[in-house]
Amino acid sequence: MDKSMLGDIDNLPDEDKMRMSAMIEQLQMRDSLRMYNALVETCFKDCVDTFRRKTLDKQEESCVRRCAEKFLKHSMRVGMRFAELNQGVATPD
């Protein structure tokens, strides 16, 4: 698995660069939508367990809000660490 595959992107003709960046933009949109779906499923599973009413009670709703905030912070932190590792930055134990 090497990273060189996209290395020569700068040498592509303009038309292909545009196509490439359109593709990246679309993958990013798909990625955010998937993240949104994953976040909702995770927090629903963690916070909602009773089905006696069809609306969330206060406790469930605040659990969902805290869960979503934590998920976003978590996923930003994972993203930072992941980027460091991708760039070969060493970090203390």
Partner 1 sequence: MAAAKDVQRELEKEMMFGMAEKEMEYRVELFNRLTHVCFEKCIEKRHKEAELNMGENSCIDRCVSKYWQVTNIVGGMLGTQQTQM
Contact between 58 and a second copy (CB under 8 A)?
A: no
Stretch that binds a second copy, among 6-14, 17-25, 52-60, 68-76 (CB under 8 A): 52-60
Q: From the CB of 14, what's the least distance to a second copy, in Å?
A: 24
The secondary structure of 5-29 as a DSSP string is: GGGGGGGS-HHHHHHHHHHHHHHHH
Contact between 74 and partner 1 (CB under 8 A)?
A: yes
Distance CA 43, CA 76 (A): 17
Residue carrying the six token digits 């593709």:
23
Return the one option of partner 1, a second copy, none that residue 72 interacts with (CB less than 5 to 8 A, by type).
partner 1
